[in-house]
C-alpha cells in the first residue's frame, strides 16, 4: 500500500470539551492544553448566542476552528484556534472594571482611585507560572483561563535550547506579561504575542514527523 503524501494535514486542536461555568477544554496536537474561560464574553454581542448552555455545550471542532450548533446564521459563532488563545489572554473591559472595584474596596474608607486608562492597560495578564514535570509550564491567567504549555518538543530549536537545563527551566517566573528564566542575559518568552501562539499551535518538525508516522501506520493497518 502506498504511503499518503508527505506534509499531510495535522489538526491543531485534537479535541474540545465543554466544562461547567462557560469554560472550554482544548487539547492541542503540540501537547499543550487550554482551559478557556468564556464567562466574561458570553454577555457581549459577538458571543451572546453562547449564553444558552445547550448551545455552548454543542461545541465541536474540525481541528482548527470551534463551531457551535446555532440555528440562526445571523448569530453564528466560530472561534479559530489562534483566537481562542487571544481570548484566554485578553482582559475584557468588564473584568477591568471588576478588578478596579476590588482595588477600590481594599482602599481605606474615604480614599478615591482616579481612573487611569494607561494603568488599566497594564493589568497583569499572567497571574502565576508553575513548572511541571516533562518540560511543561502551568500558567494561571488573569481572565480565569489556564494554559498548560508543553515545551518538551520545542527544546531542539536553537531558540529554546537553553531550557534543556532543567534547573534553568524550573527557574521560570513571570512579570505578568512574559515568562522569564534565570539565565544571563535573561531569557524571556512573550506568551501574549505571536511567539506564544506559535508555541501552542505550531507543531515542531520532530513531533510532526512522529504524528505523520503514526497516521501512516494506522492507515496501513486498515
- Tell me, yes or no, whether 157 lies in a domain: yes
CATH of the domain at 108: 3.30.2020.10
The number of distinct structural domains making up the chain is 1
- Tell me, yes or no, whether 74 lies in a domain: yes
CA 135 to CA 140: how far, in whole Å?
Answer: 17
Domain around 148: 13-209
Q: Can you give the pTM of this predicted structure?
A: 0.82
Angle at 160 between CA 159 and CA 166, to 5 degrees: 155
The one-digit pLDDT tens for each residue of the chain (222 residues) are 333 345 567 889 999 999 999 999 999 999 999 999 999 998 888 999 999 999 999 999 999 999 999 887 667 899 999 999 999 998 876 777 677 666 666 555 554 444 444 444 578 899 999 999 999 999 999 999 999 999 998 998 999 999 999 999 999 999 999 999 998 888 999 988 889 999 999 887 767 777 666 666 666 776
- Tell me, yes or no, whether 215 lies in a domain: no
Question: Is the backbone peptide bond immediately before 185 cis, with ω within 30 degrees of 0?
Answer: yes
- Tell me, yes or no, whether 221 lies in a domain: no
- Tell me, yes or no, whether 188 lies in a domain: yes
- Tell me, yes or no, whether 131 lies in a domain: yes
- Tell me, yes or no, whether 95 lies in a domain: yes
CA 35 to CA 139: how far, in whole Å?
Answer: 10
Amino acid at each position: 500500500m502506498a504511503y499518503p503524501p508527505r506534509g499531510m494535514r495535522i489538526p491543531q486542536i485534537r479535541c474540545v470539551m465543554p466544562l461547567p461555568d462557560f469554560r472550554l477544554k482544548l487539547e492541542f496536537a503540540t501537547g499543550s492544553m487550554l482551559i478557556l474561560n468564556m464567562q466574561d464574553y458570553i454577555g457581549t454581542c459577538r458571543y451572546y448566542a453562547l449564553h444558552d448552555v445547550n448551545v455552548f455545550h454543542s461545541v465541536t471542532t474540525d481541528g482548527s476552528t470551534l463551531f457551535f450548533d446555532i440555528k440562526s446564521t445571523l448569530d453564528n459563532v466560530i472561534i479559530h484556534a489562534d483566537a481562542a488563545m487571544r481570548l484566554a489572554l485578553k482582559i475584557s473591559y468588564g473584568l477591568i472594571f471588576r478588578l478596579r472595584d476590588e482595588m477600590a474596596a481594599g482602599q481605606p474608607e474615604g480614599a478615591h482611585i482616579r481612573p487611569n486608562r494607561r494603568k488599566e492597560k497594564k493589568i497583569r495578564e499572567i497571574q502565576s507560572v508553575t513548572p511541571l514535570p516533562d518540560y511543561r509550564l502551568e500558567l494561571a491567567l488573569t481572565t480565569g483561563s489556564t494554559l498548560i504549555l508543553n515545551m518538551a518538543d520545542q527544546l531542539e530549536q536553537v531558540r529554546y535550547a537553553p531550557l534543556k537545563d532543567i534547573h534553568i527551566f524550573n527557574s521560570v517566573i513571570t512579570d505578568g506579561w512574559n515568562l522569564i528564566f534565570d539565565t544571563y542575559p535573561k531569557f524571556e518568552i512573550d506568551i501574549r504575542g505571536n511567539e506564544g501562539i506559535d508555541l501552542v499551535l505550531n507543531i515542531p518538525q520532530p513531533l510532526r514527523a512522529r504524528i505523520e508516522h503514526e497516521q501512516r501506520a494506522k492507515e496501513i493497518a486498515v
